[in-house]
Structure 1
Amino acid sequence: MLAPVESRSVSPVFVGRAAELETLHDALAHASGGEPQALVIGGEAGVGKTRLVEEFAGAAAREGAVVVLGGCVEIGADGLPFAPFSTALRALRRDLPEELAAAAAGQEEELARLLPELGEAPPSRGADRSDEEGMARLFELTARLLERVAADRTVVVALEDLHWADASTRHLLSYLFRTLRTGRLVVLATYRSDDIHRRHPLRPLLAELDRLRTVRRIELGRFNRAEVGRQIAGILATEPDPAQVDEIFERSDGNAFFVEELAVATHEDSCSGLTDSLRDLLLVRVERLPESAQRVARIVAEGGSTVEYRLLAAVARLAEDDLIEALRAAVNANILIAAPGGDGYRFRHSLVREAVGDDLLPGERSRLNRRYAEALEADPTLVPADERVMRLASYWYHAHDPAKALPAVLDASVTARRRHAHSEQLRLLERAMELWDSAPEDVRATLRPVDYTEVYPPCGCDPATTPLRYLDLMAEAAVAGRLCGERERALKITKRALHLLEEEGDPLRAAWFWVQRSRLVQAQARGDGWKELATAQQLVRGLPPSEVHAEVLAAAANWSMLHDPGPDAMTAAERAVEYARMVGAEDIEFNARLTLGGLMVDAGQIEAGLAEMYEVRDEAVARGLTAVVGRSHVNLPSALEGIGRSEEAVALLREGLRLTQNMGLRDSEAWIWANLAESLFSLGRWEEAAEAAVNAQRTGQSAKPRGGGSNWLAHLALARGEVAEAAHHLAAARASYGTHDPMPQNNLPMAYVTIGTAAAEGRVLDARAEADRALSAGFPPGTQRYAWPLLLAAALAESDARAPAPPAAQEGRAAFLKRLFEAVRKLTTGAPLWLAYDKWTRAELDRAESRATPDTWSDVVTAFEALERPHDLAQVRHRLAEALLAIGGDDERARATELLRLARATATHLGARPLADATAHLAQRARLSLTAAPPPTDPADSLGLTTRERDVLRLVSAGRTNRQIAEELFISPKTASVHVSNILGKLGVSGRGEAAAMAHRLGLFSAETVTSGTRS
């Protein structure tokens, strides 16, 4: 009804900003080509950010783009969770209903946390246990939704007033800027730079965005004098007096909004009445309004960024005609404007709203908030459903009424939790704890845990009838802090809670808080968390089965599986499964069964353990247990890979990628990529393995899965002979894993790479020292899958370093080899892969002491021929060929030739340069041709020399002794002596010197050939 209003202070001419607008149009062009764009526009209040966005949005729409806007909402000091994204998605749904429905298909329930119109968001399952990835899942699904909607059309999403954004909105925006990969999409956000003080929560996000090369930052400066003149001319529709331009430019300092206000004030001949304060300038225009309009302006200022007409009418308590007249006066004076959609009113500029709000008296402010709250309680339909609870909580809190505020704030915390807005949930819970003592006892007595918490009292009481306790709020807040990354705050909450529990004698509740502290300590890199878990175990020991008891046992079993696997871990896992079934804790049961299955595989109960894990995986997928689906597709393929069933693991991992990507389980996806890199490496699909490892680095939200990607890139680089690259990736893996929480599954593979790089660089003592450290730490039951490659690497380093050494060094080497052999002898061989590693490692130890025979290596080759490890098989074939050539018979040489051909073909295909070089060098020393073409005719044939006699004569010419000739040609010294005697007879000479001279005189060997023989 108030649509036809005058807006004289807004210039119809868009002034300046040519460079900034060009940047925006360039981003639009790139987005139209399928390259998503991210931009952040900053500038002080009133400098023209909104006008720039409006100008760009209009141009983009004219080019066919779909433009949606969302603004961060300020209610008092409280932002609504995800408000700008909800608004933008709602606009997308209005403009592209079919496209958005198709993009959201299958994930409507999760996306309903942001856009309730899609359906009803499901309650999260046990936020304290299984919802670790809830927020990340929502973020991932939102990113993919936007990518799908923007697949065939250009979409611009503009989010304003980021300085008011809640923490969840900031986190989601950061996630989008880091992960958007496809789609014709432009995402831009604006913020008020003069509000970003040193401790403002937006500052860390801006610092992060500065490090992202994909994000463009635009900083709007003030207008210069010429631009101010053009702006005034546009506002007044006439060329202004130069003196007037000078005065306005000086007073406004080029701020576009203040130029508008001063230009209008001057035009209305009121400049002489203006004060020196620009803030007062804003209030002067309000104070000229009729009293009823001023009153309405004050009500709107306290109601939030936008106030709905019906809510405003209920709070103003004016007759409808009087309210309309008051609104008309405020709108005609350009103080208020109709909100987008026409259902409410807002200040034309937030600076005016802030000035009016700051001018309210303290009592007036609380009274207005009470009236807003009472109106909303009387008629909840006055505001949109998704805003109702949060706004009511804010109104009652700022009305300073604890009796009303406490339940309202708790209701709001539940809404925040359901939206995965855990930062806002934590803030609201802390506000509830602040209100707790002030609220009347009879009010607190009506509150029930079932209504406000997911972390029910672990005492076995009925949460529907037991009164809510302060400790319940602390438990819920500790979980919210952990899930939103505010772990330091969560640690402080758990510390306070445990202090309160010291006098209460509630061991179950205390044990629950100790489990939370264990997780927080690990996440904060303050330790491995075992001390806290041990305390929790002590507290529940001897108590009847309960959900907390089952959770403590499950957490302890999982910790032991990763850190110290063995019989105790299996016992804890079995009891956790039993207790969880007794109390009906499904998520604890499934996770404990996964742990139990993995421990069974490690203990040698391979088929039974795998069957248990497969059953859990199938049930989790069928029931849609998101967190268990993610973990099962990490742990089960890892167990399969550990026993050498790599092809089976790859198939499961590929399925796991599909499921976790659809579910938005980004950290689970990263673990799956890392495990896929390992299995593909084993199968000899090294290019795919490298791609998977890089994806693990890019996908992981937390450090450890990124460390897994770096770890397998290090393995690849080492196998390819890129030693410096391997060291680089190893350092990255160490940084990701950290030192506070050592695990065999991380440390032993890193030690393997450390030994391998040291050996490749000839630093045998360094390789031995690293292996010695691992031997000293020992290999607990269940670590054999990581221990066998490490022991093999240590044996390889010693086997390849057989050069003579001083007696003292030989003694040290002998002692180390003995320790190595003892470790090999004690390590389990319950899987074919482990047995194959056992045979190989023993063979390398025999080779290190010159005891290996062809039979030794034939046994190793046979073991690996039954496995899916082409690189390992090629290496042991090379070793068998070497042993056969040491015998030197024709049959042995023929067999060695075929083995080397196979090994070289594998090494060439994989790009395993060290193996390829070793194969070529061995063939060259043995004078073997690894190609199908016949060897060229040798001039020595005219003298009746055989091929072997020719090789011996070449070495005689190089001055070698019979023993040296034997070692070089893999024959015995006696055979070498016979060959030398035959050569002397055929050449008709009496000694080795004459034979060498004749060979030189006849030109049988080039100088280079003889010299190369000297270096062999």
Structure 2
Amino acid sequence: MVNDLLACHHRQMGGVLVGREAELDRIGGALVSARGGASRCLLVTGEAGIGKSRLVAEAVGGLTSPDGPGDVLVLTGHAVDMSTGEIPFGVVADTLRDLVRVAGVDVLLPAEREALASLLPGAPPRRSVERVQLLSTFLDLLERLGGERLVVWVVEDLHWADSATRDLVSLAARTLPAGLVIIGTVRTDDPDRTPAAEAALRSYVAGLARTPGCEVVPLPRLSADAVQRQLRDLLGSRPSAEVAGRVERLSDGIPFVVEELAAAAGRPELTTAAAVAAGRIGGLSSEARRLVEAAAIGDGHLRASLLEQVLDVTPEELDAALVEALRAGILTTDHERDTVGFRHALLREATVRETGPGARRSWHRRWAEVLEDNPGVLPPDPALLAVAEHWHQARDVRRALAATVAALPAAERVCRPDEETALWTRILGGFAVLPDASEVAGMPLREAYARALLASGIASHPVRRACVTAAPVEQLPAAMRLIHAMVVSDHGKGEANAYSEERLTEIADLFEESEPDLMAVYAWSSAGSLMTDDLARGERLMERARRAARELGDLRASVMVEARDSYRAQVNGDPQRAAHRLREALDLFGDERWDGVFHLWGNLMWCELVCGRHDEAQRAADEALQRLTHPHLSVHLWEHLVENAAMSWILTGRWTRARALLQESEPWWEDDVRTSNAHLHLLDLLQSGRATGTERWRRQLESPAPGGAPVTDARAVLALAAVEAGDLAGMRTELAPLWGMDRMLMYDDQLWLLVLLAARSEADAAADGPRPDRDAGAAHLQVVDDAAARLRRHGALGEVWPLDLAAQLDRFHGRDARPALRAALEGWERVGHVPDAAVTHLSLAEQEAVHGDREAARHHLAAGREIAERLQARPMLARADALAARHALTSRERRTDAVLTDREVEVLGLVAEGLTNGQIGAKLFMSPKTASVHVSHILAKLGAANRTEAAATARRQGLLG
């Protein structure tokens, strides 16, 4: 019987592969390169039925020895299209199962078996192992195996993969340890895919394609000649012209459709692949039909032993049904792997369409029952999540509720926040329809609702909102309904602050006598963190919540309280206190690696940054990034840390470090409108003055992307781009919506940066001479000044912001700005804002020249130029040159020993020796053009008319040693 099955399987593979010689060569070339040490990642893309899996099977089929893995290890993981997406870690678990089958369980080291236990059949999971640890252990395993032999990891149907698999493939593709080849198949046409999912997949594939060592292998439709060759091979002879023409016309070059139409050659009414698939299913016996339907619902965990129980048949009856299904060209089987699968995903989709909704629910029920009765056949965590999914699809609310609660520990271990929150949405929905939901769930609604709020705290806003709105509001007591209303009204950062003080007081009063449970912790911290009138009571509520969370031993509750308390301090104008509290909390949490803890690290960076304490901010950045093992596996956390660390480095003039981190991070984001991308774009403008790609920020304003940069960042990029283009009217237009926004205090730390951008730009333009738009500039500055008066000031940095603004207003109106500029310069140097100090030096150079102190003007001009050169800030250098020319600040008598950089002194020495630019470049390993730039800067700084005069001045001033 087994041989019969395998023979059927071989016949249904479609005969000889035709028309794919070039693609086979590309995959073969990648494998050859990998043997030579150049690991590769290939994405085989194309529409359904184009032959992606068949191509990969052909390419890797001859790599392994029948007696064992030999020097090549081919591992395969399959993603499966379930109604809510792939079960988390399903592909990884499938790959591990294949590894153990091929190489034996001893291929895993003890530490690997322990860390991956929740993904190995028959192994009890360790609760302490979390998502990132699982992923990093799997990555390390691939690297270790790749050091012993060539490893080919095939990921089938990557378009259906869960977020963990996509993250893993991304990281493996970008790091590509030696000895690894990744081959993923990606379906590019799925009518059931939502526009958002389609955009995310397209972005994901495009991001991978940009990665060195990764390439896309698109499969086009077959040519007419290739269709005829395939048809002849399938039929065993040359078909009639009528049949050949019909198949060629209807198949449209899709190999799977050619196979289906060839199978239906005797039935001309079957003119499409869908019709042929339906015809195949309709021609089955009742036993085989039941098998195919059950397989369609259980795809992803099809084991022969499980199918016997799902169908309630004997092994002999199962074999008979399998033979019929294989002969009908619907199923395939792998005896060695003990698996059954569909010959093609389109056949599974056709089966689901041909199966009525009642039958689908019935099969989901059977799969749930059988998986529950057979623990250990599937890996523990995927099994728990699969059972919950099947009961949910069976529409058995009672069993679904119990199964979903049972799956929560697995979700906490392996799911992303959005995925875990989706389970809580179902749980709350169960309470809405079951009168005894508390008994079924093993917890009262009060606890379930509180835990759902905690779990959803770091989920995306749409998912969080769907979760809380699923709660049965009519069952909530009055106090909890107030909390519910507040959570539902929260549309984003700071929105809940609009909740009235009266309502917050009412919440506090209603929960005054509550026992210290999770709901009380949530209520106390919600009311306490948002109270603005009775700050003393807010402080007491926060302390009460803190003590209760710690007594309950709930990490998530404790993190929530600390996050809210620090946020409370920051929005109340005391980020220094927020930073102090965050440091105390992080010391308490120690080495905890939960996502929420890393959010606290990012918040700590920002609190230190807006206080001007950049040394502390950067120490926090270094520690957090060091703790985040494999940061690419926690992209949302990584970005939170990256954006704040990079901002501190930009403000303090550590632009090389900021650029390196931002450029390293940029390819990992799924879109290009993140805050980190905005920081990188701003850095580009500051250094080059060129504005490219600004249209993406305009799109972000018109249609904000989830997780994208906030409005302040997008408008900052557009405003600075306008300034660099000399378009002050454009800058005013970009910034105008910010000065009257409803939630200014939520963004005041960022708005101060834009206040100074606007004020400096208007003042610089006014200093250049009379302008026809002066009145517009004056009106704009009045609006900016009024807006700044409403913004709060934080720490040492808060002392400098208004000083700089006052100085720019003085400059614009022609008043003596030197006192304010000197105070601002002292402040910028105190907090370590190097670029701001440079800009202020140049403004002081202008003011000193205007008021007749040319020596002081030259000093400030030289100081500003030196920083600008170090930062490679061309716009700043251009301004310095313009100031020097306008005010004739190039006197040859000025001292320059504190002005020339070390590199310029080195170049000046070679100029004094009479070397040309080309000779200088060759001697100092730079291009002649770079040498010329250095010489030009030296002449300008020394006030020399030519190279000879520069050398003489240098000797006279002792600059050449």
Instruction: Give the TM-score, by structure 1 length.
Output: 0.66
CA contact (8 A) 1:785 1:834 kept: no
What amino acid does structure 2 have at the position aligned with 1:173? R
Equivalent residue number for residue 92 of structure 2: 85
Structure 1 residues 930 and 598, CA, compared in 2 at 3 Å: closer, same or farther?
A: farther
The one-letter code matched in structure 2 to 1:576 is M
2:3, 2:611 → 1: CA distance? 73
Is the CA contact 1:38–1:216 (under 8 Å) kept in the aligned structure 2? yes
Kindly tell me: are residues 392 and 711 of structure 1, through their superposed partners in 2, closer, same or farther at Cα, counting changes over 3 Å?
closer
Partner of 2:57: 54
Question: 1:304-331: per-residue Cα shift (whole Å, max 9, x none)?
Answer: 5664343445566666677778877887
How many angstroms does 1:572 deviate by? 3.7
Offset at 1:506? 0.9
Which residue of 849, 867, 878 corresponds with 1:906?
Answer: 867
Structure 1 residue 55, shift from structure 2 partner:
0.3
The answer to whether the 8 A contact 1:802-1:848 is kept is yes
Amino acid at match of 1:216: V
Q: Which residue of 1 aligns with 2:41?
A: 37
Which residue of structure 1 aligns with residue 7 of structure 2?
6
Query: Residue in 2 aligned with 1:182?
Result: 175
Specify the alignment match of 2:927 in structure 1.
none
* Whole-angstrom distance in 2 between the partners of 1:616 and 1:699: 30
Residue 647 of structure 2 is matched in structure 1 by 678
Change (3 A) 1:764 1:148: farther
Q: Does the Cα contact within 8 Å between 1:393 and 1:409 map onto a contact in 2?
A: yes
Alignment-derived partner of residue 336 in structure 2: 341
Q: Is the 8 A contact 2:549 2:557 kept in 1?
A: no
Closer, same or farther: CA 281–405 of 1 in aligned 2, 3 Å: same
1:624 CA displacement: 0.2
Q: How does 1:134-149 map to 2 (within 5 A)?
A: none
Whether 1:122 aligns to 2:127 is yes
Report the alpha carbon displacement of residue 88 of structure 1 after superposing the two structures with TM. Answer: 1.9
CA contact (8 A) 1:300 1:307 kept: yes
Aligned to 1:924, the other structure's residue is in SS state: coil
- Structure 2: distance between partners of 1:839 and 1:484: 40
Native 8 Å contact 2:326 2:332 kept in 1 = yes
Report if aligned partners of 1:41, 1:191 keep a CA contact under 8 Å in 2: yes
Q: For 2:84 and 2:746, how far apart are their aligned partners in 1?
A: 56
- Alpha-carbon shift at residue 581 of structure 1 (Å): 1.5
Partner SS state of residue 122, structure 1: coil
Structure 1 partner of 2:928: none
Is residue 302–residue 369 contact of structure 1 (8 Å, CA) maintained in 2? yes
Q: Does 1:582 align with 2:531?
A: no
Partner of 1:157: 153
Residues 875 and 915 of structure 1 are in contact (CA less than 8 Å); yes or no, is this contact kept in structure 2?
A: no
Distance (Å, rounded) in 2 between the aligned partners of 1:480 and 1:609: 23
In the TM superposition, what whole-angstrom CA distance separates every residue of 1:192-216 from its partner, at most 9, and x where no partner exists?
96x7457699755555567655573
1:745-824 counterparts in 2 under 5 A? 747=712, 754=719, 758=723, 761=726, 763=728, 774=739, 783=748, 787=752, 790=755, 794=759, 797-798=762-763, 801=766
The answer to whether the 8 A contact 2:807-2:820 is kept is: yes
Q: CA deviation at 1:447?
A: 1.0
Counterpart CA distance in 2 for 1:815 and 1:351 is 65
- Give the gaps of 5 or more residues in structure 1: 125-133, 451-455, 464-471, 561-565, 934-1016
Max Rg structure: 1
Instruction: Using the TM superposition, give the Cα deviation of residue 245 of structure 1 relative to its aligned residue in structure 2, in angstroms.
Output: 8.1
Query: Aligned partners of 1:78, 1:819: CA distance in 2, in Å?
Result: 50
CA distance in 1, matches of 2:452, 2:345: 33
Give me the whole-angstrom Cα distance separating, in 2, the residues matched to 1:417 and 1:136: 12
Aligned 8 A contact 1:576 1:589 in 2? no
Look up the match of 2:606: 638
Work out the CA distance in 2 between the residues paired with 1:581 and 1:699: 39
Give the match for residue 654 of structure 1.
Answer: 622
Other-structure match for 2:21: 18
Q: C-alpha displacement at 1:18, in angstroms?
A: 2.0
Tell whether 2:414 aligns with 1:419: yes
Change (3 A) 1:916 1:138: farther
Deviations 1:400-440 (A, max 9, x none): 8776566446545775565317777777777778888997x
Deviates more, 1:767-776 or 1:77-86: 767-776
- Residue 885 of structure 2 is aligned to residue 921 of structure 1: yes
Q: Are the structure 2 counterparts of residues 661 and 36 from structure 1 closer, same or farther at C-alpha, using a change threshold of 3 Å?
A: farther
User: For residue 510 of structure 1, what is the aligned residue in structure 2?
Assistant: 481
Partner of 1:946: none
Structure 1 residues 807 and 513 mapped into 2: Cα distance closer, same or farther (>3 Å)? closer
Partner residue, 1:310: 305
Contact 2:139 2:172 in 1 (8 A): yes
| Secondary structure of 2:93's aligned partner | helix
Residue 973 of structure 1 aligns with which residue?
none
Cα distance between partner residues in 2 of 1:313 and 1:843 = 82
Aligned to 1:956: none
* 2:78 counterpart of 1:71: yes
Change (3 A) 1:296 1:172: closer
Query: Structure 2 matches for 1:683-694, cutoff 5 A?
Result: 683-694=652-663
- Length, aligned pairs only: 866
Tell me whether 1:872 sits opposite 2:833 in the alignment.
no
Give me the whole-angstrom Cα distance separating, in 2, the residues matched to 1:538 and 1:420. Answer: 36
Once the two structures are superposed, the pairs formed by residues 313-712 of structure 1 within 5 Å of their partners are: 313-314=308-309, 338-339=333-334, 341-346=336-341, 379-380=374-375, 385-386=380-381, 388-389=383-384, 407-408=402-403, 411=406, 415=410, 418-420=413-415, 446-450=439-443, 457-458=445-446, 472=448, 487=462, 491=465, 494-495=468-469, 497=471, 501=473, 503-504=474-475, 506-519=477-490, 521-522=491-492, 528-531=495-498, 537=504, 540-543=507-510, 544=512, 547-552=518-523, 554-555=525-526, 572=538, 575-584=541-550, 586-593=555-562, 596-597=565-566, 610-620=579-589, 622-662=590-630, 664-694=633-663, 698-700=667-669, 706-707=674-675, 709-711=677-679
Partners of 1:154 and 1:647 in 2: CA distance: 46
> Whole-Å Cα distance in 2 between the matches of residues 677 and 436 of structure 1?
45
Q: Which deviates further from its counterpart, 342-351 or 815-824?
A: 815-824
CA 1:115 to 1:538, structure 2 compared with 1: closer, same or farther past 3 Å?
Answer: farther
CA distance in 2, matches of 1:199, 1:419: 25
Query: Aligned residue for 2:162?
Result: 169
- For the 8 Å contact 1:839–1:860, the answer to whether it is kept is yes
Per-residue CA deviations over 1:877-902 (Å, capped at 9, x if unaligned) read 445555555676xxx65555444433
Retained in 1: the 8 A contact 2:424–2:467? no
> Residues 647 and 700 of structure 1: is their aligned pair in 2 closer, same or farther, counting only changes over 3 Å?
farther
Q: Contact conserved, 2:504 with 2:530, CA < 8 A, in 1?
A: no
1:88 partner letter: T
Distance 1:229 1:646, change over 3 A: closer
TM-score, normalised to structure 2, is 0.70
Q: Contact conserved, 1:74 with 1:80, CA < 8 A, in 2?
A: no
CA contact (8 A) 2:270 2:276 kept: yes
Distance 1:647 1:707, change over 3 A: same
8 A Cα contact 1:758 1:766, kept in partner: yes
CA deviations 1:759-815 (Å, max 9, x no partner) are 9838499769969974999986994785387258526734762588799979x9999
1:642 deviation in Å? 2.4
Change (3 A) 1:295 1:509: closer
In the TM superposition, what is the alpha-carbon distance from 1:87 to its structure 2 partner?
0.5
Instruction: Give the C-alpha shift of residue 726 in structure 1.
Output: 11
**Structure 1 residues 861, 381: closer, same or farther in 2, change over 3 A?**
closer
Q: Distance in 2 between matches of 1:542 and 1:322?
A: 67
Q: Tell me, in whole angstroms, the C-alpha distance in 1 between the residues paired with 2:497 and 2:807.
A: 39
Quote the Cα distance in structure 1 between the aligned partners of 2:27 and 2:560: 49
CA distance in 2, matches of 1:693, 1:350: 40
The answer on whether the counterparts of 2:647 and 2:679 sit within 8 Å (CA) in structure 1 is no
Which shifted more, 909-918 or 594-603? 594-603
Look up the SS of the partner of 1:37 in the other structure.
strand
Letter of the structure 1 residue corresponding to residue 93 of structure 2: S
